[in-house]
Chain A
Amino acid sequence: MRGGRKALLKVIILGDSGVGKTSLMNQYVNNKFSTQYKATIGADFLTKEVLVEERSVTMQIWDTAGQERFQSLGVAFYRGADCCALVYDVNNVKSFENLDSWRDEFLLQANPRDPENFPFVVIGNKVDVEESKRQVTQKRAMAWCQQKGNIPYFETSAKEGINVEQAFFTIAKNSLKQEADVELYSDFPDPIKIDGDTSVAKSAGCEC
């Protein structure tokens, strides 16, 4: 039943401060780049209507603060996310190394039904910067994505608008897929918030 699906997709963008999350979101939603964005305090979001597989859906894109200490403010809005974009700056190796903990943190807080198969997308941003500044190779990034369960990987530039559309399209498509999967066992109540326990998802998975 198509009508049963919710027409709203919730996407969370995570990554270190300054990797370009806000710029990516604005490039995608408003098709423009500006040097006038402020550092994100807490969280903010924009929405965009997209057409995926002939269906029009609203994407609610949540942009978050990157500084580590903001994690302790609680990240209530992670709940109910359909997809999570992990962003790093290809010219900053630390932002890449932190992807692990961003992913863990997300899974812990969002507590999705099926953490093993939750749709992530990894974005290496700022590829427009001169090659000599680059610190993380495509190969290294792809190896990481492979190891974490074949996460789709994109290299983008929010500044030049390179690959941004494609990255977000994949985000939308995969969220939708997740939606469809979830529907199969939507009769099950939400798992009680304890920790990243997979038991609910597994028992549900057996049904199909």
Chain B
Amino acid sequence: MWTLPTPVDASSFWQTIKENDLFSAQKSKENESSTTMLRSVWATIQNVFDTKQPPFRIVLRTQGGQDSAAYGHMIAVAESLKEIEADWAWIEGTLLPEMKELEDKADKAAYALSKFTSLVQTREADSDEKSSDAKFRAAARSWRQLFRLPESERLVNFYSCSYHRRLMNQGWMYISLSYCCFYSFVLGTETKVIIELKDIEELTKEKSKRGMVSDSIKIHFFSNLFQRDETFELLEYLTNMAMQKLLKATTTDPAPGLSIQQQESQAEILTSPAAVLGFVTASDASRPLKQAFEIQKRNSKFQWLFNLPSAETILEDVAVICSISGTNTSFQGKLYLSDTFLCFLSTAKYQCQLALPFFAIMRVERINSQTSTVAITARHQLKLLFQFTGERQQADKFCNSLKDRLQAHVAMMKRLKPFLTTCPSEDLLAGRDLQVGGLGVTYGYVDAKRQAQAVEKSKLRYWISYFRAEFGRNLTLVRLPTFIKLVRIGLPNALRGEMWELCSGAMYKRFLGEGYYNKLHADYGGRTSLSTEEIEKDLNRSLPEYSGYQTPEGINALRRVLYAYSYHEPEIGYCQAMNIVVSVLLIYLTEEQAFWVLTVLCERMLPGYYTVNMVGAVIDNHVFVTLVERFMPILGDHFKEHEIQLSVACLPWFLSLYINSLPLPYALRIMDCFFMEGAKVLFQVGLAILKINGDAILKVRDDGELMNVLKSYFGKLGDVLQGSGENARPTTKFNQLMLTAYREFQNVTNDLIVDLRKTHQLKVIQSMDLYAKRSVVRSLTFTSKFTKDELLYLCDQFYTAQFYTTSAGKKQADRLDLPQFKQLLARIAPWASFDSEQDDQLARSGGEASGKPVVGADFIDKLFAKVFDQNADGLVDLQDIVRGLGKMIHEGAAGALDVFMRAHDGDGDGKLSKEETIQVSETLLFLTRRLEGDSHLGSVSSFLNRAFAAAAAAAAASASEAESSGQTTQEAFSLSSATLTKVILADDFLETFFSETLQQTFVLQNSGTGVQQKIFAPPIQEISESLWSGGLKWATGRMAAGRKAAGGAVAAGSGAAAQGDKAGQTDGAADAAASAAGGKGGAKMIDASDDDADDDGALLLEEVDSLLREADLGGTESEMASGAAEVSPA
């Protein structure tokens, strides 16, 4: 196999086997290490350092370059001599003639180098081996060889760690897109673990660098993870992606927001796991996925911090001190530059935050005194000074980037002016009436208090003075602590919409996505889909009490926003509760503004809430329950004790942002905080509600009573509470609620919520997946004699087969094509799996699997076409699978034979031709190829004999019949179904095979644990055992022979050596074991020294005994004893 040319040094570990001017083929000396044990130690070392090298390589000698240490470039590696010889032959036969013209040796070397580089690069167009990181490349290569996963699978990263299975096995964890694999090779024991990410139910970090992964089958422990948190995060991320994909696969319905025409014309969207991950684009191919993953993580955190659109990525970041003209304080923090924004965040929480779009910046000046500073003047008289605290170079780089970005945005600046006319803050400052706005402008607002107007006025005064203080407004607004306070006391109606839009980041999206909303209507308007139908039903059931929605104007606005969203995101389409949220948004925002706020809600603030499975809402419900248990354990216990499901009461709170539960004016106040501070507010308020009503809740005994308590509380939120303290002012119950939310639950941060969401995600998705599969199984009309668990298992395997393979052509959500069917079968019947054949082939040839088909393997193709695929469309669904397998498994020999007959009867005439009968025998060989012994071979050949005899007899009979009736018949071979049955049942082996063995080959339950352990060099215990049984004689002989030769120097071979050279002894033991295990070779040697053995048997018994003790290699005493008992008669 050609490799990317890698510099290597002349190493004494390599021995040259072939050579010419330029190249040398070499063989690793490691293989020569004389003993098995040493080899295994070698392998262990290699494994621990992951330096595993194939034993053969070809080196292009390029010495004399600048790098004198380099001796040449490795250009090929191979596992076998044969393979390396093939590569060598290519070099001699093709490459060297090509280079004949080149005179200079250096030119030749250069030519060869580029040749190999391009060879490899075309071959590895998008595989990990192309990575620039040599270590990663090596790891990717060993991972591929070790685990033989599908081609499309890509390694993301690998980590050193150990796996617990009785012992600790130090080795490597390989994380790829859909698998977590572990490999270790320690003292002769190979451990391979393959965990499918989609099966993982729980990931837990434990103390002391230990981590736990549990899938449906068992729990795996990994420890010594030096980068545990990183590993964990990566696993968590990929597992979640895998699960999401799986969940999507089991949801077979088309996207609800697609119109019927669109559904039909929609091409296959089935994507490779890599593409599903989103961040894996073609250009990333040369970069390890892990890096891409980290960049993405950093960017999404950044977007989340500043509420930016998801296209924004960090270009530069520097440490600065920020001062704003108009304040005396300055803030230490970090300045970021992204594609469209200049962002600043103070190190101290809540002190200063700002996201300034480039198109709102008017002037940038570099002030170079002792310190490096930039002065920025933005719209709205906002003046900012950023003093760079880091190195000068960094500042220069940052300023250059800033200059480039600003230039790129000049064109956008002219869009700013019209945009500002849609911002009420501009009207307010100009003292105008509002120019544009939501339904509220016409139909009024909903207020709680009677003195609403006065309150509105005084709030507005605060805001105007904030804007006037040159802290910017709308697109340029700087968030200082006063801003946060002003939002928390409740926004004035006139500014509510603008602040929602700004705080959520929807305002940026609207600016950047100018025209998109109208285009959606232009492109899709008039189409109907499941979602539009559902929307129609709910238009009048959104906020019917608001006068705006008793008019066509209000209803039409609501319709247009909801329709637009279903066009925009057909996978989500429309979910009840969106109507309620949007109906409130529209009081304060225009259609277009409300649309963009809705996108932010669905994408970032309430992720997954309104999807078809509402998985986000379910996860958040779990998060909420966890928080209740953590902060109010007494309540938590009470709910558990009475089996009260909080979700009944609380899910609507989250889904409708409290609008459905609380009187609207209070819900609006919560929304103010929610848009500014994120989802944590919903949780804080929810917790506060439960806390305040704690006493009453402790008395409830079921969901209904809980709802009653809460409902009556919500009805009294406007009640005034008399303060109890001395200078306590009276306050409303609602204010008490908000104070409790912020004070008592300040530890509920967005970070905590994000963490908890991740923790619960896996379990929730797994259970949803199970739920989805249950309903698939329930919808089966024919279930043969399978148990429910078996059906569920089949269903699981069905979707798994679909999960790992991508089929070409149109998306067939609930069907498998032939390759997928093969996968499925391989997962449930060992004879349908070819993995071990590949292993065998590899072992034999030492190279890549030759891909030669196994004889009779086309039986599976026949099964698919003739038995399972009933309607012959090249696809099978779960029902087909159940029916076909039922016939093979649950209908005895008759059923199995019928399947056989149908599979082989090519023309469907109920008779087998000669050719087909031979194929039957091949199939029999195929199915029995894994059986021990060779009795089945005899049965198969006698089957052929009998079949031919029977066919001949039948032919003769019909011929004579034909003769007697005066007709002529062609002498045709044909075997009817009845004859086939008779012939097969006549043989004892085949009879059992068709009535029991075949059926038993199917495994319809989770049996594998994903862990394989293979022992190459026998482990120590076995070494000692075999030493006793067979090896002893040989050992005795050798030592005796040695003694004779050395003249009685027994000690050298035994006793003394025990103290001196343990390793040497170990070798001896291993050799003995190896030869014992090796069979014939060893046996010969034993024979040769047989005579001597008897003489000194008794003495040596003691010696070896003590040796084993010394080396601590021995098994238990009893093992010793039994070993001795076996040996002594000899």
User: Is A39 in contact with B575, judged by CB distance below 8 angstroms?
Assistant: no
Task: Check B660 for interface membership: any CB of A closer than 8 A.
Answer: yes
Task: Check B778 for interface membership: any CB of A closer than 8 A.
Answer: yes
Q: How far is the CA of A96 from the CA of B580 in the complex (A)?
A: 27
Q: How far is the CA of A67 from the CA of B535 in the complex (A)?
A: 11
**A-side contacts of B540, CB under 8 Å:** 35
- B295-303, B423-431, B607-615, B863-871 - the one binding chain A: B607-615
User: Is A72 in contact with B647, judged by CB distance below 8 angstroms?
Assistant: no
User: Is B655 in contact with A74, judged by CB distance below 8 angstroms?
Assistant: no
User: Is B541 in contact with A77, judged by CB distance below 8 angstroms?
Assistant: no
Task: Check A152 for interface membership: any CB of B closer than 8 A.
Answer: no
CB proximity of A103 to chain B, nearest CB, Å: 12
User: Is B655 in contact with A42, judged by CB distance below 8 angstroms?
Assistant: yes
Q: Interface digits, B529-569 against A, CB 8 Å rule (1 contact, 0 not)?
A: 00000100110111111000000000000000000000000
CB proximity of A117 to chain B, nearest CB, Å: 20
Known interface pairs A17-B576, A38-B544; A72-B618 also in contact (CB < 8 Å): yes
Task: Check A163 for interface membership: any CB of B closer than 8 A.
Answer: no
A80: nearest chain-B partner, CB-CB? B702
B702: nearest chain-A partner, CB-CB? A80
Q: How far is the CA of A65 from the CA of B707 in the complex (A)?
A: 16
User: Is A36 in contact with B544, judged by CB distance below 8 angstroms?
Assistant: yes
**A-side contacts of B618, CB under 8 Å:** 72-74
Task: Check B656 for interface membership: any CB of A closer than 8 A.
Answer: yes
Q: How far is the CA of A22 from the CA of B667 in the complex (A)?
A: 23
Q: Interface range on chain B: under 10, 10 to 19, 20 to 34, or 35 or more?
A: 35 or more
**B-side contacts of A18, CB under 8 Å:** 537-538
Task: Check B570 for interface membership: any CB of A closer than 8 A.
Answer: no
Q: How far is the CA of A104 from the CA of B645 in the complex (A)?
A: 22
Query: Looking at B534, B576, B651, which has the most chain A CB atoms within 10 Å of its CB?
Result: B576
User: Is B545 in contact with A42, judged by CB distance below 8 angstroms?
Assistant: no
User: Is A41 in contact with B577, judged by CB distance below 8 angstroms?
Assistant: yes
Known interface pairs A38-B544, A60-B704, A74-B647; A69-B614 also in contact (CB < 8 Å): yes
Which among A43, A73, A108 is the interface contact of B614 at CB below 8 angstroms?
A73
Task: Check A70 for interface membership: any CB of B closer than 8 A.
Answer: yes
Which among B534, B541, B613, B788 is the interface contact of A38 at CB below 8 angstroms?
B541
- A-B interface pairs (CB < 8 A), number: 86
Known interface pairs A70-B576, A76-B647, A77-B645; A104-B778 also in contact (CB < 8 Å): yes
User: Is B648 in contact with A72, judged by CB distance below 8 angstroms?
Assistant: no
**A-side contacts of B771, CB under 8 Å:** 72
Q: Interface range on chain A: under 10, 10 to 19, 20 to 34, or 35 or more?
A: 20 to 34
A18: nearest chain-B partner, CB-CB? B537
Task: Check A169 for interface membership: any CB of B closer than 8 A.
Answer: no
**B-side contacts of A43, CB under 8 Å:** 648
Task: Check B579 for interface membership: any CB of A closer than 8 A.
Answer: yes
**B-side contacts of A76, CB under 8 Å:** 645, 647-648, 703
CB proximity of B570 to chain A, nearest CB, Å: 14
Task: Check B768 for interface membership: any CB of A closer than 8 A.
Answer: yes
Q: Interface digits, A75-110 against B, CB 8 Å rule (1 contact, 0 not)?
A: 011010000000000000000000000001000100
Q: Interface digits, A2-46 against B, CB 8 Å rule (1 contact, 0 not)?
A: 000000001000000110000000000000000111111111110
Task: Check B617 for interface membership: any CB of A closer than 8 A.
Answer: yes
Q: How far is the CA of A35 from the CA of B541 in the complex (A)?
A: 8
CB proximity of A199 to chain B, nearest CB, Å: 13
User: Is A38 in contact with B543, judged by CB distance below 8 angstroms?
Assistant: yes
Query: Looking at A42, A70, A76, A108, which has the most chain B CB atoms within 10 Å of its CB?
Result: A42
**A-side contacts of B648, CB under 8 Å:** 42-43, 76-77
CB proximity of A181 to chain B, nearest CB, Å: 22
Q: How far is the CA of A186 from the CA of B537 in the complex (A)?
A: 43
User: Is A41 in contact with B660, judged by CB distance below 8 angstroms?
Assistant: yes
Task: Check B895 for interface membership: any CB of A closer than 8 A.
Answer: no
B650: nearest chain-A partner, CB-CB? A42
Q: How far is the CA of A47 from the CA of B647 in the complex (A)?
A: 20
User: Is A72 in contact with B577, judged by CB distance below 8 angstroms?
Assistant: no
**A-side contacts of B704, CB under 8 Å:** 10, 45, 47, 60, 77
CB proximity of A184 to chain B, nearest CB, Å: 24
Known interface pairs A69-B613, A76-B703; A38-B580 also in contact (CB < 8 Å): yes
**A-side contacts of B537, CB under 8 Å:** 17-18, 39
User: Is A38 in contact with B660, judged by CB distance below 8 angstroms?
Assistant: yes
User: Is B645 in contact with A41, judged by CB distance below 8 angstroms?
Assistant: no
**B-side contacts of A38, CB under 8 Å:** 541-544, 580, 660
Q: Interface digits, B704-724 against A, CB 8 Å rule (1 contact, 0 not)?
A: 100100000000000000000
**A-side contacts of B663, CB under 8 Å:** none
Q: How far is the CA of A35 from the CA of B774 in the complex (A)?
A: 38
Q: How far is the CA of A37 from the CA of B611 in the complex (A)?
A: 24
Which among B544, B615, B703 is the interface contact of A35 at CB below 8 angstroms?
B544
**A-side contacts of B577, CB under 8 Å:** 41
User: Is A73 in contact with B580, judged by CB distance below 8 angstroms?
Assistant: no
Known interface pairs A39-B538, A67-B534, A72-B614; A77-B703 also in contact (CB < 8 Å): yes
Task: Check A195 for interface membership: any CB of B closer than 8 A.
Answer: yes
Task: Check B652 for interface membership: any CB of A closer than 8 A.
Answer: yes
**A-side contacts of B613, CB under 8 Å:** 69, 72
B536: nearest chain-A partner, CB-CB? A18
**B-side contacts of A72, CB under 8 Å:** 613-615, 618, 768, 771
Known interface pairs A73-B614, A104-B778; A41-B542 also in contact (CB < 8 Å): no
Q: How far is the CA of A195 from the CA of B777 in the complex (A)?
A: 12
Which among A36, A37, A69 is the interface contact of B575 at CB below 8 angstroms?
A69
Q: How far is the CA of A72 from the CA of B250 in the complex (A)?
A: 14
Which among A10, A37, A39 is the interface contact of B579 at CB below 8 angstroms?
A39
Q: How far is the CA of A4 from the CA of B778 in the complex (A)?
A: 38
Q: How far is the CA of A47 from the CA of B613 in the complex (A)?
A: 30
Q: How far is the CA of A76 from the CA of B612 in the complex (A)?
A: 19
**A-side contacts of B647, CB under 8 Å:** 42, 73-74, 76
CB proximity of A16 to chain B, nearest CB, Å: 9
User: Is B652 in contact with A42, judged by CB distance below 8 angstroms?
Assistant: yes
A36: nearest chain-B partner, CB-CB? B544
User: Is B580 in contact with A41, judged by CB distance below 8 angstroms?
Assistant: yes
B542: nearest chain-A partner, CB-CB? A38
CB proximity of A190 to chain B, nearest CB, Å: 10
**A-side contacts of B580, CB under 8 Å:** 38-39, 41
B612: nearest chain-A partner, CB-CB? A69
User: Is B614 in contact with A37, judged by CB distance below 8 angstroms?
Assistant: no
Q: Interface digits, A113-140 against B, CB 8 Å rule (1 contact, 0 not)?
A: 0000000000000000000000000000
Q: How far is the CA of A74 from the CA of B625 in the complex (A)?
A: 14
**A-side contacts of B538, CB under 8 Å:** 17-18, 39
**A-side contacts of B645, CB under 8 Å:** 74, 76-77
Q: How far is the CA of A72 from the CA of B765 in the complex (A)?
A: 11
**A-side contacts of B707, CB under 8 Å:** 44-45
B613: nearest chain-A partner, CB-CB? A72
CB proximity of A196 to chain B, nearest CB, Å: 9
CB proximity of A129 to chain B, nearest CB, Å: 15
CB proximity of B580 to chain A, nearest CB, Å: 7
CB proximity of B444 to chain A, nearest CB, Å: 18
CB proximity of A8 to chain B, nearest CB, Å: 8
Q: How far is the CA of A38 from the CA of B544 in the complex (A)?
A: 7
Q: How far is the CA of A10 from the CA of B656 in the complex (A)?
A: 26
**A-side contacts of B788, CB under 8 Å:** 195
Query: Looking at A18, A44, A67, A73, which has the most chain B CB atoms within 10 Å of its CB?
Result: A73
Known interface pairs A17-B534, A39-B576, A41-B580; A73-B651 also in contact (CB < 8 Å): yes
Considering only residues 655-706 of chain B, those with a C-beta below 8 Å from chain A are: 655-656, 660, 703-704
A72: nearest chain-B partner, CB-CB? B613
CB proximity of A42 to chain B, nearest CB, Å: 4
Q: How far is the CA of A69 from the CA of B643 in the complex (A)?
A: 24
CB proximity of A1 to chain B, nearest CB, Å: 22
Give 12 CB contacts A-B under 8 Å: A38-B542, A38-B544, A38-B580, A41-B655, A41-B656, A67-B534, A67-B576, A72-B618, A73-B651, A74-B647, A76-B647, A79-B643
Other A-B pairs beyond A41-B655, A42-B647, A45-B704, 10, CB < 8 Å: A35-B544, A39-B538, A39-B542, A41-B652, A45-B707, A67-B534, A67-B575, A72-B615, A73-B618, A73-B621
Across the A-B interface, give the 5 residue pairs with the lowest CB-CB distance, nearest first. Answer: A76-B645, A18-B537, A42-B652, A36-B544, A39-B541
